[in-house]
Amino acid sequence: MDSASFQFVMFGLAAAMLSNLSRSRVWRSIVLFIASIAFLALLSHDPIVFLPLIGFLLLGYAGLLLVERGWSKAMVFSLLAVIVVYIWLKKYTFLPEGVFLRSAYFTLGLSYILFRVLHLIIEAGDASERRHVGLGAYLIYTLNFTTLVSGPIQRYDEFARDEFAIEPIVLGPRTVGLQLERIVRGFFKVNVLAMLLHAVQEDALAQMSQPLPLPQKLFSAFRLAVAYPFFLYANFSGYIDIVIALARLMRVRLPENFDRPFSASSFLDFWNRWHITLSTWLKTYVYNPLLMALMRRISSVALEPLLGVFCFFVTFFLVGVWHGRTSEFVVFGILQGGGISINKLWQLGLARGLGRKGYKAFAKNSIYIAFGRGLTFSWFAFSTFWFWANWKQIDKVFTAISIAQWLVVWLAIWLSATVVLSIWEVLRAALLSIKTAEGPVLTSRYARVVYASALGLAAFVITFLLNQPAPDIVYKAF
Amino acid sequence: MNDAHLRFDRGAAAGDAEGCRERKLPLRDWLLLPILSLLTICFLAAVTESIARRMFSESKTDEEQCWVLNDPTTGVRGIPNSVCQVKIPESQLTEYKYNSCGHRAGMECGPRQPGAYRIVMTGSSFAMGLAVPREQTFAALLPQELSQRTGHKVELYNVGMGYRFAHSVALRFDDALAAKPDVILWAASPMDIEQSSFVVPASQASAGRGLWIRVHEALGRESAWNKARSLWEIASAGLFSHLEASRTVLMLQHFLYSSQSLYVSSYLRGGDEHSGFLKAEPSADWKNRLRQTDMDVANMQARASAAGIPFVTVLLPNRSQAAMISMGEWPAGYDPYKLEGELRSIVTSHGGIYIDILPDFRNIPNPERYYFPVDGHPDANGHAIIAGMLAKELARGAVPGLRATE
């Protein structure tokens, strides 16, 4: 149930059908709440394991109430308390082993609940946005089963606008059809594409330690590096496709989390397209306040761009560190923050060297964009080694071939990504340019029915006839 | 592909946000779209199945037409002087030619060539060389390899046969002794131990009766709900088994199982009956199988000793076992060497000789490539590798008569 399984989809569709029995917001809220509780109950039958989660939710709500009642000084305390308890419950490895709870307990989705709780507390402290969030609304928002496991991270006002609307948003046959097609697409991505890409990566990893001739070993290194970003995309975005569609069938619009990330021509652009709700959250609550605070303290105009670079580093370092509890994720964070900062410095340097107009013209150059796209993919692929591997595996992989050979592999990845992703962009544009009066043929409902049927058939054969289970949703571990 | 849809979805969502009413779906689409979906599925299923049938064709005949399958006193045996031409979906057309003793030996049964050292090999389908031309089987290649390594003239008489698992090997041990060997080699596979009590296959008639018995039982249930549920289970299981038997499924399995990790994980999920021998702690069923094997080995060893002939056993790994050994890592609770350890102790405890080729698979990258991915038997390349490994171990001195000359 905590993956993009057939059971999860059926559960979501049943909840959506029940929810649509009445247009009343009370009814819809009751159905969503009961479905979310039932979802948790299906994940664990032992109520005791939920006690820490309940405590965490109550702590967050207490903090929210204090801030809502005008105790603005309580905001910092509440935020710190929630973060500290979160770190403790998630058993971050820098804390001593002895302080952790001994018995097993439920932490699935805790990271995403954290973001929602922090968002509520911070917004409650904003004098311009006074509102009261009742306990029921708080629980429905934080425990919403469509966003519990892996997001997306939705703002409360957006959630409340749809969930508690007197007149619910339209849900006609066209929208239902689009959502069903999206569920099939998401199911295919997770259960077929991600499964195959995972196998490619696992095979390549095993081959790295086998006695293979050098060309084959280099090819294994190439596949190992390239397969994981695509796997992660199929795994995570497929799950997000399913939950966005299920929520939409319950008349709630969840924010998009991906926007063609491998089309990004720079690392800055990449993080505008990958896990969008996470990067947006951190830009809102870390980057902006930090930059404002630094600019207030350091008033030098010359240093302003560098302050931005520093804030970018801190923000995306936190993006990386958030993903895990071990030292590997610190390196992952440094690589994300480093990539973003170097990218920003490069832009600043070019703008200074070429002038604003010159830089703008240069940035539009299709060859520059193509190589930028290839480099962005390569850097992300490189950084993901600290995302999926532990130090032992990293050591094994990077010592399997020499440094010079790795450089050849990364150069090959950069060039291949440049060429392949460019061909994909051109092909996509060409296909979408075939239009009728209603829009591109490829996005017509007839085309959608054809490929949803094809993807559905493939997913059925792989999942049910071949009984091939897909790997877990990677982001549910965070 | 995804991107275009996402954009479109967002457009639709934006329409909602503005409070736009959704445009009505034209009436014709309520009929057209389901038909389009159905046609797509039928078209793809038909095209894929026809491609699969072309790529993975099989002969109408099978190797069992050359076998006697219904004699529990002897186990499965070859029909003397019969010839069958068989193609399984993953193999080439293969000829099975049996001599006057019903053996796929590549020679007439009778005395050895003058001056030759004769190995008589027994075992099941691995030893027999199922789906591989006889001249490419390790039974055919091993004498050449051994002759080169030892300087002796070596010949191999193969009495291996499909379904000749551990107990049947013991039942037909006289075949091996009658061939007047210098040494008897039992080339066992994990399947030989899994099916250690097997003698002859169940007849098709009894399998057919099973379906009617199940339907009858379903109709005899108390409530209408239980009847309906049982019939539904029988029907869906029947439909699934038909779909699973399609060539499309075989083709997809063939390509998916080319992946080492996918194959191993699928195999380990296959249940204790098939993959239990890979567990570090065998189940009670596997312990029973090993006990049965122990009795059969004791019997064979006693007869071989009485005839003064060395009895040598080797375990040939199956596809997943070879892959796991090559990977060097396996999930907790598993051990691809476990069965070999058990078999070695059984064989040596009765005074037999055990030779060990499993560790050699560590040095072969992706050894699973040398097996048919779905069928699971070694292909011609696999047989060549096994022949090399066996020759190396036999020439090392495990069998005094085969020790390499200085």
- Judged against a pLDDT cut of 80, whether residue B404 lies above it is answered with no
Length of chain A: 478
The tokens for A23 are 């247009």
Mean of the pLDDT values across residues A232-238? 97
**Per-residue pLDDT, B14:** 37
CB contact at 8 A, A64 and A78 = yes
- And the tokens for A132? 């009261």
CA contacts within 13 A on the Cβ side of A91: 12
Taking only the tens place, the pLDDT of each residue in A420-436 is 999 999 999 999 999 99
Report the residue of B18, B38, B40, B267 to disrupt the A interface, i.e. the one with the largest count of A CBs within 10 Å.
B40
Buried b (16+ CB within 10 A) or exposed e, A362-380: ebeeeeebbbbbbbbbbbb
**Which token pair is A236?**
């995570």
Going through B162-293 in order, the beta strands assigned E by DSSP cover 183-188
Contact criterion met (CB below 8 Å) for B156 and B139: yes
Are A148 and A39 in contact, with CB atoms under 8 Å apart? yes
Beta strands in B251-361 (DSSP E): 311-315, 353-355
How are beta strands B183-188 and B117-123 bridged, if at all?
Answer: parallel
Cα(A477)–Cα(A236) distance, rounded to whole angstroms? 12
pLDDT at B6: 37
On the question of pLDDT at A278 being above 60, the answer is: yes
**In this predicted structure, what is the pLDDT of residue B19?**
44
Element (H or E) spanning A374, and its range?
A: helix A366-383
Most distant pair of Cα atoms in chain A: their distance: 69
Residue showing tokens 């001994």:
A102
What kind and span of H or E run contains B11?
Answer: helix B2-17
Distances (CA, A) of B349 to A223, B295, B342: 48, 12, 11
Chain B nearest-CA distance from A146, in A, is 17
Range of lowest pLDDT (A232-236, B8-12, B117-121): B8-12
* Residue A4 DSSP one-character state: S
Tell me the mean pLDDT in the region B43-68. Answer: 94
Task: Categorize the per-residue pLDDT at A165 as very low, low, confident or very high, splitting at 50, 70 and 90.
Answer: very high
Q: Quote the radius of gyration of chain B (alpha carbons, Å).
A: 27
Q: Is the pLDDT of residue B20 over 60?
A: no
Residue of A14, A86, A19, A11 lying closest to A43 (CA atoms): A11
Interface of B with A in 270-289 (CB under 8 A): none
Task: Please check the confidence at residue B4 and state whether its pLDDT lies above 60.
Answer: no
Give the whole-angstrom CA distance, residue A203 versus residue B256.
Answer: 12
Report the alpha-carbon distance of residue A200 to residue B260 in Å, rounded.
9
What confidence category does residue B13 fall into, taking pLDDT thresholds of 50, 70 and 90? very low
How buried is A266 (Cβ within 10 angstroms: 0-12 exposed, 13-18 middle, 19+ buried)? buried
Q: Measuring CA to CA, how many Å separate A215 from each of A204, A254, A387?
A: 13, 46, 26
Q: How many beta-carbon pairs below 8 A join chains A and B?
A: 138
CA distance A337 to A323: 13
Which tokens sit at A157?
């006002």
Cβ-contact B79, B103 below 8 angstroms: no
HSE, CB side, 13 Å, CA atoms: give it for residue A399: 6
Helix residue spans in B56-179 (DSSP H): 125-128, 138-150, 166-171, 173-178
CB spacing of B25 vs A172 below 8 angstroms: yes
Q: Which residues pair with B68 in a beta bridge?
A: B77
A253 with B37: Cβ contact below 8 A? no
Q: What is the pLDDT of residues B184-209, one digit of tens each?
A: 999 999 999 999 888 877 765 455 55
User: Within an 8 Å CB–CB cutoff, is residue B6 touching chain A?
Assistant: yes
Strands B77-78, B67-68: parallel, antiparallel or unpaired by DSSP?
antiparallel
| Local confidence band at B17 (pLDDT 50, 70, 90 cut-offs) | very low
Block residue for tokens 């995403």: A112
Cβ atoms within 10 Å, residue A307: 17
Q: Beta strand A439-440 with B117-123: parallel, antiparallel or unpaired? A: unpaired
Enumerate the residues of chain A whose CB falls inside 8 A of the CB of residue B331.
none
Q: How confident is the model at residue A347 (pLDDT cuts 50, 70, 90)?
A: very high
Partner residue opposite A466 with nearest CB, options B5, B256, B327: B256
Q: Which residues of chain A neighbour B263 with C-beta distances below 8 Å?
A: none
Contact A449/B33, CB-based, under 8 Å?
A: yes
Closest chain A residue to B323, measured at CA? A206
Distance CA A249, CA B42 (A): 29
Q: Do B261 and A202 touch (CB under 8 A)?
A: yes
Give this complex's ipTM. 0.87
- Answer yes or no: is pLDDT of A249 > 90: yes
Residue A457 to residue B20, Cβ atoms within 8 A:
no
pLDDT at B209: 57
Query: What is the mean pLDDT of the segment spanning B114-129?
Result: 95
Of residues A249, A253, A272, A250, the one with CA closest to residue A261: A272
Nearest CA distance, B49 vs chain A (angstrom): 12
- Per-residue pLDDT at B405: 66
Dihedral angle sign, alpha carbons of residues A262, A264, A266, A267:
negative
* Amino acid identity at A470: A
At A329, list the tokens: 């994720």
**CA-based nearest residue in chain B for residue A251:** B16
**d(C-alpha A218, C-alpha A208), whole Å:** 9
Long-range contacts of B291-295 (CB under 8 A, 24+ apart): B292/B166, B292/B167, B292/B196, B292/B197, B293/B166, B293/B192, B293/B193, B293/B196, B293/B343, B293/B346, B294/B346
Question: Residue B70: its pLDDT value, please?
Answer: 87
Question: What's the confidence (pLDDT) of residue B329?
Answer: 86
B16 vs A189: CB contact, 8 Å cut-off?
Answer: no
With residue B120 as reference, give the H or E element that holds it.
strand B117-123
Min distance B44 CA to chain A CA atoms (Å): 7
Structure tokens given for A215: 């060309």
Count of CA atoms in the C-beta half-sphere (13 A) of B110? 7
A interface test, pick of B25, B48, B261, B330 with most A CB neighbours within 10 Å: B261
| Pick from A227-231, A291-295, B68-72: least confident | B68-72
Report residue B153 as tokens.
């003239």
Coil/strand/helix, residue B276: helix
DSSP state of B56: T
> Cα(first)–Cα(last) distance of chain B, in Å?
68
Contact B253/A at CB under 8 A: yes
Partnered with residue B334 across adjacent β-strands are B279
User: How far is A71 from A61, CA to CA, in rounded Å?
Assistant: 14
pLDDT of B5 > 70? The answer is no
Q: Which residues of A touch B367 (CB under 8 A)?
A: none
Number of CB atoms found within 10 A of residue B346's CB:
22
Q: CB of B50 within 8 A of CB of B249?
A: no
Give the best residue of A466, A467, A472 to mutate against chain B (max B CB count within 10 A). A466
User: Strand B183-188 to strand B311-315: parallel, antiparallel, or no bridges (unpaired)?
Assistant: parallel
Burial of B359 (0-12, 13-18, 19+ CB in 10 A): exposed
At residue B87, what is the residue type?
A: K
Asked if omega into A168 is within 30° of 0 (cis), the reply is no
Cβ separation A170–B326 shorter than 8 A: no
- Which tokens hold the place of B387? 């022949």
The shortest CB-CB distance from B44 to any of A181, A260, A454 is to: A454
Q: What is the pLDDT of residues B298-314, one digit of tens each?
A: 999 999 999 999 999 99
Structure tokens at A4: 């993009």
Question: Considering only CB atoms, which chain A residues are within 8 Å of B26?
Answer: none
Angstrom distance (rounded) from CA A288 to CA A290: 5
pLDDT at A143 over 60: yes
- Which residues of chain A have a CB within 8 Å of the CB of B10? 256
Q: What is the pLDDT of residue A228?
A: 97
| pLDDT at site A326 | 87
A127 pLDDT band (50/70/90 cuts)? low
Would you call B237 an interface residue with chain A, using a CB distance cutoff of 8 Å? no
Cβ–Cβ contacts within 10 Å for residue A410, how many?
17
- More confident: B142 or B19: B142
Q: What is the rounded average pLDDT of the residues B138-164?
A: 94
pLDDT at B8 (0 to 100): 37
Q: Cβ contacts (< 8 Å) between A431 and chain B: which residues?
A: 4
CA–CA separation, B3 and A431 (whole Å):
12
CB contact under 8 A, B12 and A210: no
CA distance A150 to chain B (A): 19
Q: Is the pLDDT of residue B227 over 70?
A: yes
pLDDT at A418 over 60: yes
- Counts of helices then strands in chain A (DSSP H, E): 21, 2
| Of A97-106, B10-19, B282-291, minimum mean pLDDT range | B10-19
Distance of alpha carbon B352 from alpha carbon B345, whole angstroms: 10
pTM reported for the whole predicted model: 0.90
Q: Considering only alpha carbons, which residue of chain A is nearest residue B255?
A: A196
How confident is residue B18, by pLDDT bands cut at 50, 70 and 90?
Answer: very low
Compare all CA atoms of chain A with the CA of B362 and give the residue at the minimum distance: A210
Cβ within 8 Å, pair B16-A174: no
H helix intervals, A209-256 = 214-249
Question: Are A465 and B249 a contacting pair at CB < 8 A?
Answer: yes
DSSP secondary-structure letter at B403? Answer: P
Average pLDDT along chain A: 94
The four Cα atoms B363, B369, B374, B376 give a dihedral, to 10 degrees, of -40
Q: Touching check for B249 and chain A: CB below 8 Å?
A: yes
DSSP at B397: I
Please tell me the predicted confidence (pLDDT) of residue B201: 79
Residue A170's pLDDT band, with cuts at 50, 70 and 90, is very high
Sign for the pseudo-dihedral over CA of A262, A263, A268, A270: negative
The B residues from 354 to 393 touching A (CB cutoff 8 Å) are: 363, 365-366
- B214 pLDDT more than 80: no
A-proximal residues of B, 102-131, CB under 8 Å? none
Nearest CB neighbour to B328, from listed A209, A260, A468: A209
Q: From the CA of A196, how many Å to the nearest CA of chain B? A: 8
